[in-house]
Amino acid sequence: MADIKKQGSTFEEVSYDSDGEKNKSGFDEIMEEEVELPSKFPLGGKKLVLVGIGVGVLILIIAAYFYFRPTFFAPKVVEEEIILDEPWGDYEEEPPPIFTYSVEEANRLRAVGYTSREIEEFEYQEIIDIGPLIDTQIKARQESFLDLYRAFLREAKESGNEQYNYVLSNTYLGLPPQEFIDEDGKRDYVTYTENVDYWKMPLQGWQPTVKLRLANDAVIYMHTTPSRYEELGDSGNMNIRYDYIYFKGVRCVTNVTEIVN
């Protein structure tokens, strides 16, 4: 018959003290010590919730700061008010000229030396007759040319250059000067026919020219055609008809032609 082993009981006898309180065993003392140990999470449940809400609000504030920062903290753009300069007084821009020259008239003005700006000014002034404008410019150019010519003659004379005598003998610049006088109101128109001596001038410029000596020793010049200029000898005689006017003390030839038989 098998031996029946006696099982040890795990029952622990509880003793009480004289006041009726249960005596603590070693196990109870160990458990109480564990309960009294500080918790790893000192905050209670409600406190944890409040802390979580605070952290969430803080995160929202930080996110909102970075989101709205470009709007609230961007540098303000100050719009400058552009003030246009007000015109002085009652100034008004000049309207374009209503009157304009034809292409032919404008070309005639340019041919005598007027600039485009000057032509526009004449149009603005509505100078319809361009004849006086052309005459004035031609006269000014002639005066300028004469000034250069006289300067050349003076230089040639002072230097003793042979060109001086050449110029005097082949141009009207060697003739005696004349001046108008206002107090003389006499005016005569005269036509003469004479046989005169002539000399061919050197062929320079656009007009073949011969020099004529009249009966009173006055010298005049006559333009001729290229063919007639070629036919004439260097000097000789020819019949001419010339018109002159005596005006304010000055005798001026107005026309001279050769009488060809």
Q: What is the mean pLDDT of residues 239-253?
A: 88
Q: Is the pTM of this model over 0.85?
A: no
Q: What is the pLDDT of residue 227?
A: 93
Of 20 and 239, the structure prediction assigns the larger pLDDT to: 239
Q: Is the pLDDT of residue 181 over 60?
A: yes
Q: Are 163 and 169 within 8 A, CB to CB? A: no
Confidence of residue 4 (pLDDT cuts 50, 70, 90): very low
Highest mean pLDDT among 21-30, 48-57, 221-230: 221-230
φ, ψ of residue 145 to 5 degrees: the values are -65, -40
- Please list, in sequence order, all residues whose beta carbon lies within 8 angstroms of the beta carbon of residue 41, skipping any fewer than 6 positions away: 48
> To the nearest whole number, what is the mean pLDDT of the chain?
75
- For the chain, the distance separating the N- and C-terminal CA atoms, rounded to the nearest angstrom, is 197
Q: Which of 3-7, 56-60, 210-214, 247-251 has the lowest mean pLDDT?
A: 3-7
What pLDDT does residue 5 have? 47
Q: Is the pLDDT of residue 51 over 80?
A: no
- In this predicted structure, the answer to whether residue 184 has a pLDDT above a threshold of 60 is yes
- Answer whether residue 94 shows pLDDT above 70: no
pLDDT category at 226 given cuts 50, 70, 90 is: very high
113 with 141: CB under 8 angstroms? yes
